[in-house]
Structure 1
C-alpha cells in the first residue's frame, strides 16, 4: 500500500460517519461503532420523539448498523482520539486537500474552472469535457507564472522607486528654485524700494530748491517794490506839504523833486514748475491694466471720420441725415466715446496725437449719460473728467466753476488711468512717464466711458488703439 492510500485509510478511520469530520471526543457503542460523543447524542435526541423506534426503554439504534444500544453504555475511545489528532496534523490530510463533495484527495486541476478537483469530479458531468492536468503540473505552471508576475512586480517596484527618487529630487530642486526666486523678488523689490525712495528724495529736494530759489527772487522783488513804494509815499507827502506853502516859499525852492527819482521794475519771475513728477517704471506698471479701447462709431460727431487700420476701412460716414438724429451721437462738438463702459476696477489706455495749427482738444472719461446735443462745459460738475490739449494761441478759457486742466505743450502720447473704486482719473506722458494731472473725488455716481474730443478741421489727428480720428475739413 502506497503512502497516499495509507493516508486515505487513516483519514477514513479518523472520520466520524455523522459529521464527516475528524473525531472529537470519540465514543464506542455496544455494537463496536465509533462516533463523536456530541454527534451520537444529537442523533439519539432526534430519534427520541419518533414512535415505534425504541424496542425497549433507554435504548437507541446505532446510526451504522441499527442495532439497539443502551445510551449509558457509551465508552470513550482514547486510541481513536490520538488517531484523529494524528490525521489532523498530517500535511497530506488537511481539509483543503480534500474534495468537499466527495471527500477524496484533490489530485487534478481543471483549467476551465481554474480549481482543483478529485478523480471522482473528473468523471462527473461538470468536468468530463474540460481540460484537466495533474495537480503537480498545474502547480508547476502556476509557480512559473507566479515567478513571472513576481519578477514583473519587482521590476515595477524598482521602476517606481527610481521615479520616486527622481520626483523627490525634482521636488527638492523645484523648492530650491522657488526659494531663490522668492529671495530675488524680495531683494529686487527692496532695491527698487530704495531706488524709489532715493528718487523721491531727489525730486523733493529739487522741488524744494526750485521753491526756495523762486520764492527768494519773488521776495527780493517784493522787498524792492515795498522800498520803492515807501520812497514814493514819502516824496508824495513832501510834495503835498509844499503845495500847502505860500507862493513866496514855493519860489524859494524851485528844484524838481522828480529829477532824482529812479524807478526799478523787477523782471517777471516765471512760475512754471520745472520739477516733473516722474515715478520710474510707473507706465510699465500701469500697462498691466491696459484696455483695448476702441471708439464707438455710433456716437461720433457727424463730421468726425474714423479709419480702422487693421480692417482698412472707415467706421463712419458723414452727412447721412438719418444718422444725424440718433440720440447716442454727439452733435454739439466733434466728440466720440469708447465702446466699453467702466463701473468698477482699474483701467488704462493710451492715445496718440498729432496736433497741427491752432487746436483745443480734450480727452479723459465722461459719464455715460452726459449731454450730447448741448454745448456744456467739460467739467466734473457736468460729468467730464478731461484734460484739454492746447496748441497755438487760439485758446478760449472755460467759464465753468472748475475748468478742465489745460496742457499748452501736450505730449505726443497720453496715458489715461481710471481707478474707479478710488475715484481717480490720472493722466501721464507716455514718452517720459511724467505725471500730468489727477482728478480725485470720493466716488463716481455712475458708469464711465473713455471720452475723446477733437478741435476744428485741419487741426490734426488722434490715434485711439488702431483707429485714426480727425474732423472732415
Structure 2
C-alpha cells in the first residue's frame, strides 16, 4: 500500500505481522524478525515442533526468543508522533489526507464493514485482534441492502411528491374555479343591487312626483280659495260700510230711500244685494284631493311595511343560518308530550312520564332543544296553535296596533288551527285552571299560556322559576291579551295581540336574542346580554288544546 507520509513508512516497520497492530513487548526470534511477545507465544502454544517464522518460514526455538527493548521505545515514539499528527488541524494536513476519508487509527483507506460492531474498517483494522473473528464484508456489498432500502423509500417519497403535486394542481384548479365563481358573484351582487337601487329610485321618484302633483293642486286650490274669500270679504266690507252710514241717518232720510213693494213691505236695495244666509262659503280641500291624500298615506304605510319586511328577511337570509331545532324529550316536563320527531309538543294535563331524569323540568312545563350553541348566528321559528283562536283575530288586532317598530327580519309561521297531527288530547283540564283564567279575565289579567326563547344550559330545573335574563332565560310570554316580556319580577306588555308564528334569532357572539313576527317580518323585541356556556332553545306550555311546533 502507498505511504501517505514519512511517518507511515516508519509505522509499517513497527507493525506485528501476526496481529497487524503496533508491536507490544516486541521480541525477536532466531531469524531476526520481530513480533509481539503474546502473539509469538500463542503461535508456539498452538503449533507443533518445529516452530517456523510466519514471514520467512525459518525454524526457530522457543527458548531463543529475546525481548528487543530498543524496538519497544521506537514503537512508543512512533505512536506518540501519530497521535500528535491526528491532533493536527485539518488545514495543516497534506492535500491527500484531506481529500480522502481514512481510518482514524491507521490512516488507511476504508474498505470493509464489520457487521458485528457496525463499524467501517481499513485492512489493518480488519486483521486486528479486535475484528479478526468478526463478519466483515466489503463496503460496497454491505451498502447494497441499505442502498436498496433507500431506493425503496425514495420511490415512496417520489410517489408522495407526485401525489402532492397532483393534489396541489387539482386544488389550484378548484381554487381558481371558485375565485372565478366569486368574480361572477361580485358582478351579480353589483348588478342585483344596481337594479334594486334603480327600482327604488324609480319608485321614489314616482311617489315624489305624485306628492308634488297633489301639493301643486292643493297650492293652486289654496290660492283660489284665498282670492275668492278675499273678494267676498271686500264686498261684505263695502256693504257693511253702507249700512253703517245708513243706520246713522235721520228717520226721514232713512225712509226716503225705501220703496213700497207689492206686498206692502218696504225693501232697501242694500238688503237685496246680500240676502240673508246667501254669503259665500267653500271647502278649503276638495273631496277628490282628500281621497287621493288618504290613498297616498296608505301607499306610504304599505311602503314602510314592505321595506321593514324586506330588510328583515334580507338580513336574516344573508347573515343568519336557519337551524333545524329538535326538542330534547329527556328535559320535558311530565305534563308535556313531545312528538317522536321532536318537532312539536302539546300540554296534556296528565302526568305522562313514570321516570324522573336529572335534566327534566319539574314542576315547570318546560323543555330544551337537543342542540346548544356556543357561537355564530342561528335562526328558527315556532308555530303557536290554539283551537279557540280564530284566524281573523290576529289580522284584526294587527290593523289597530299602535306604533311602528324597527325590524330584525325573519319569517313567521301561520295558523291557530286544530291540534291533531298524531296527538289525541284527553280533553282534561284542571278545574282550578278554568277558575283562574275566568278570574284573571274578569280582573283584566290574562295568564301566560306559553313562553318562547332561549335558556342557558345551567339553568335551575327544579321548583318554580323566574324566567328572567338574570336566571338564564330570554323569553317572550304569550297570553290571550298579547305578548309580554320578563326582565324583572313583573312582566310588561309589548303587543296587544299574539302573532301565530314567531321567529327567534340568536346572535351568540353579539349577545342578542331577537324576536320577530315571522309572517310580517316585523320586529317584536330584542334582548341584549353576554352569553356564557351553551345556549339552548327553550319552550314552555301550560294550556290545554295548545301546541308549539318548531320550524323548519
TM-score, with structure 2 as normaliser: 0.43
| More RCO (CA 8 Å, sep 6+) | 2
